[in-house]
């Protein structure tokens, strides 16, 4: 059986995001270059969101550096919120001009985006005209798509039919929750949108669908391998003869050829694959690793693994010993070393590795926690007003000089009073929110046993847009990270390897660290190259079989970690960017760390109260 036998949509896995964007952009460019100016223009269907931005940046680069012209290109965008003025911060009109059209030579009259500023009485006529415009242009040559967590393409939510056309549609609650970060609150997300229908999308001659991150793994498996269903609109793409799904390794993680390839074909048994297979078998059969039998292996297509080792006992013993060797208590952790912990936001350090951070402090290591961004956009306005109130009360009781305090608080209150939902904060408000996050970060590491002097606030330039949407990593960002590494000369670096945070900051911060490390230590054996440990954030943990090290936490250590998270008061109770998990971050952490330990116990290994997991690069 072919490794891709269960995949009903052609799927290409490209782990490097720059390469993935280049691959898709190159396909678009090839289509444009193949069409002579005297022929029908190339018609592109375009999508918005964070996933296609890399493709648009690559197309802009091709235009500037390779002379790729868009003068004979016609575009139709998938969707737009309704109601939504075209110049609003969250308008897809604005998104497309800022991220693509303003930077290429496209004819403005050939750009088509559904209008979100029409009265409801005019929307139906507009959607009919939009469909006619696509037909008049000769149909879409290539349609670019993203995919939502519900499997929606465009805004075709669960229940959308295969014959649906461009129309006004009510947005699913999960879709609105996912968009809450961009609107600074779910209550500000429009409840409706205009979207191309499933039939409109399937009419395209070619379709490219993009997905990245662990949070897309489940829906990609359902879309690619599942049955066609109105509940998952992306499954309709299985009925399109020329669709390609472009995914990174994280989004592909649940595909059968990645998750359980032994079920499809003969495999080459590496240690990593053996660990994954035996752990999977143990959990599937609910049998401890050391108790797995020949029957268990045979019934689950793993006889070749037993044959390779001679007996079930040999396989069981080897896997048990390898997994046991991953457990790394305090005595096995670094001692008296120089360590830099990079935290994308001012709370990722304690959320993801607060227990290990405490152990490293106990081991007399010289620790520097580098907070890469201010995290100020994640502070609610009411939190800023609370600090303003404190300052005003101190000034009123003669504890602080009244005049400068009054000038500052008046400026903050005035800026907040005149602010509309999603609007960029005034500089004075951004600065106050930055200071709030910095104070919380210091308090957090002190609760974990570190000194306040261990905190370093880099405030990288890419983040300083005041918006959820950030700039790409630039030379200044890399230079700041490099300068810190040159100063500290660490033996170990801890980096966020989580790629599923809602706004992508973890991914971008890792890019800056990777670039700085590549400059300082070009090869794996470069002198002074530190050992790099990847932790994961508030969204999920490393699987036990994939982890390099598993650090056990006692009940007291987990409680201390939670107390450190509590110090981030502006993120407690109701975090601005919660994703689809309603729980507070400390609740997710407690559950995740306990579940990792419980999983180890189910495999028949030692029983611990809680655990943090790491992958060493």
Q: 296 and 514 in contact (C-beta within 8 Å)?
A: no
Residues 85 and 91: beta-carbon distance below 8 Å: yes
CA 248, 249, 250, 252 torsion: positive or negative? positive
Among 583, 348, 574, residue whose Cα is nearest residue 444: 348
Each residue of 182-196: b (16+ CB within 10 Å) or e?
A: bbbeeeebbebbbbb
Quote the CA–CA distance of 558 and 537 in Å, as a whole number: 16
| Cα–chain center distance at 249 | 13
The C-alpha torsion from 334 through 339 and 343 to 346, rounded to 10°, is 100
Contact 302, 282 (CB under 8 A): no
Query: Catalytic positions, please?
Result: 157
DSSP 369-427: EEE-S--GGGS-HHHHHHHHHHHHHHHHTTSS-HHHHHHHHHHHHHHHHTPPTTPPPPH
Contact 473, 512 (CB under 8 A): yes
Read off φ and ψ for residue 446, nearest 5 degrees.
-65, -40
| DSSP assignment string, 203-258 | TSSEEEEEE-SGGGHHHHHHHHHS--BTTBGGGGGGG-TTEEEEE-TTTTTTSHHH
């Amino acid at each position: 059986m072919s490794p891709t036998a269960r995949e009903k949509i052609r799927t290409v896995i490209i782990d490097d995001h720059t390469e993935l964007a280049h691959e898709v952009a190159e396909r678009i460019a090839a289509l444009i270059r193949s069409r002579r100016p005297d022929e029908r223009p190339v018609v592109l269907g375009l999508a918005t969101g964070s996933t296609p931005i890399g493709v648009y940046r690559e197309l802009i680069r091709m235009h500037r550096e390779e002379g790729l012209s868009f003068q004979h290109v016609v575009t139709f965008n998938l969707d737009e919120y309704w109601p939504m003025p075209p110049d609003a911060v969250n308008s897809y009109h604005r998104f497309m001009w800022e991220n693509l059209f303003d930077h290429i030579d496209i004819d403005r009259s050939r750009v088509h985006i559904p209008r979100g500023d029409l009265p409801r009485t005019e929307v139906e006529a507009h959607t009919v005209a939009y469909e006619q415009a696509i037909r008049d242009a000769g149909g879409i040559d290539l349609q670019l798509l993203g995919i939502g967590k519900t499997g929606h393409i465009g805004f075709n939510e669960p229940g959308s039919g295969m014959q649906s056309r461009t129309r006004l549609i009510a947005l699913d609650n999960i879709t609105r929750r996912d968009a809450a970060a961009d609107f600074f609150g779910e209550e500000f997300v429009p409840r409706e949108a205009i979207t191309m229908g499933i039939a409109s999308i399937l009419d395209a001659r070619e379709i490219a669908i993009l997905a990245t991150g662990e949070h897309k793994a489940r829906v990609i498996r359902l879309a690619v391998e599942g049955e066609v269903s109105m509940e998952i609109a992306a499954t309709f793409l299985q009925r399109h003869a020329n669709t390609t799904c472009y995914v990174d390794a994280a989004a592909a993680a649940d595909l059968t050829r990645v998750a359980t390839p032994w079920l499809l074909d003969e495999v080459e048994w590496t240690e990593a694959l053996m660990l994954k297979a035996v752990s999977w078998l143990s959990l599937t059969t609910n049998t401890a690793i050391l108790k797995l039998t020949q029957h268990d292996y045979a019934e689950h297509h793993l006889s070749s693994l037993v044959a390779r080792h001679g007996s079930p006992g040999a396989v069981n013993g080897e896997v048990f010993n390898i997994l046991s060797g991953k457990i790394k208590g305090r005595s096995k952790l670094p001692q008296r070393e120089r360590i830099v912990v990079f935290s994308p936001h001012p709370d990722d350090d304690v959320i993801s590795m607060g227990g290990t951070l405490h152990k490293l402090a106990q081991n007399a290591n010289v620790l520097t926690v580098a907070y890469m961004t201010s995290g100020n956009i994640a502070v609610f306005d009411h939190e800023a007003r609370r600090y303003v109130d404190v300052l005003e009360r101190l000034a009123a009781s003669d504890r602080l000089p009244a005049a400068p305090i009054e000038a500052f608080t008046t400026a903050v209150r005035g800026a907040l009073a005149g602010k509309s939902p999603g609007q960029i904060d005034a500089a004075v408000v951004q600065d106050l929110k930055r200071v709030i996050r910095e104070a919380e970060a210091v308090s957090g590491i002190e609760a974990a046993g570190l000194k306040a002097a261990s905190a370093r606030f880099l405030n990288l330039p890419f983040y300083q847009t005041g918006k959820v949407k950030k700039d790409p990593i630039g030379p200044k960002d890399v230079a700041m990270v490099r300068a810190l590494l040159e100063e500290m000369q660490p033996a170990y670096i801890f980096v966020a390897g989580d790629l599923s945070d809602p706004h992508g900051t973890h991914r971008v911060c890792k890019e800056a660290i990777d670039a700085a490390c590549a400059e300082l230590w070009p090869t794996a054996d470069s002198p002074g190259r530190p050992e790099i440990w990847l932790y994961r954030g508030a969204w999920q943990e490393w699987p036990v079989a994939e982890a390099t090290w598993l650090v056990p936490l006692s009940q007291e250590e987990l409680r201390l970690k939670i107390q450190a998270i509590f110090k981030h008061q502006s993120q407690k109770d109701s975090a601005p960017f919660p994703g689809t998990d309603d729980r507070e971050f400390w609740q997710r952490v407690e559950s995740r760390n306990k579940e990792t330990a419980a999983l180890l116990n189910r495999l028949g290994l030692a029983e611990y109260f809680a655990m943090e997991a790491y992958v060493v690069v």
